[in-house]
Amino acid sequence: MRIDILSVVPDLLESPFAHSILKRAQNKGHVEIHIHNIRDYATNKHKSVDDAPYGGGAGMVMMIEPIVLCLEKLKSERVYEDIIYLSTDGEMFDQKIANRMSMQKNLLFLCGHYKGIDERIRDHFVTREISIGNFVLSGGELAAAVICDAIIRLIPGVLNDETSALSDSFQDDLLAPPAYTRPAEFRGLKVPDVLLSGNSGEIDKWRHEQSVLRTQKKRPNMLNEDKKEE
**Reported confidence tier of residue 172, pLDDT bands at 50, 70, 90:** confident
* Cα atoms found within 13 Å of the Cα of residue 176, Cβ hemisphere only: 10
pTM: 0.88
Q: Which CATH superfamily is domain 167-229 in?
A: tRNA(m1g37)methyltransferase, domain 2 (1.10.1270.20)
Give first-to-last CA distance, the chain, whole Å.
34
Return d(Cα 20, Cα 84) in angstroms, integer.
Answer: 25
What pairs with residue 84 in β-bridges?
A: 109, 128
Return d(Cα 130, Cα 136) in angstroms, integer.
Answer: 13
The tens digit of pLDDT for each residue in 12-29 reads: 999 999 999 999 999 999
* CATH architecture of the domain with range 2-152: 3-Layer(aba) Sandwich (3.40)
Q: 93-108 burial, b if ≥16 CB within 10 A, otherwise e? A: bebebbeebbeeebbb
- Which pLDDT does position 170 carry in this prediction? 60
- Which pLDDT does position 191 carry in this prediction? 97
The tens digit of pLDDT for each residue in 3-12 reads: 999 999 999 9
Mean pLDDT score of the chain = 93
Return d(Cα 80, Cα 165) in angstroms, integer.
Answer: 25
What is the average per-residue pLDDT within 202-218? 96
What are the domain boundaries of the chain? Answer: 2-152, 167-229
- Which pLDDT does position 173 carry in this prediction? 82
In the chain, the percentage of residues whose pLDDT exceeds 70 is 93
- Which pLDDT does position 167 carry in this prediction? 56
* DSSP assignment of 214-229: HHHHH-HHHHHHHHHH
- Which pLDDT does position 171 carry in this prediction? 64
What is the average per-residue pLDDT within 48-60? 95
The tens digit of pLDDT for each residue in 68-108 reads: 999 999 999 999 999 999 999 999 999 999 999 999 999 99
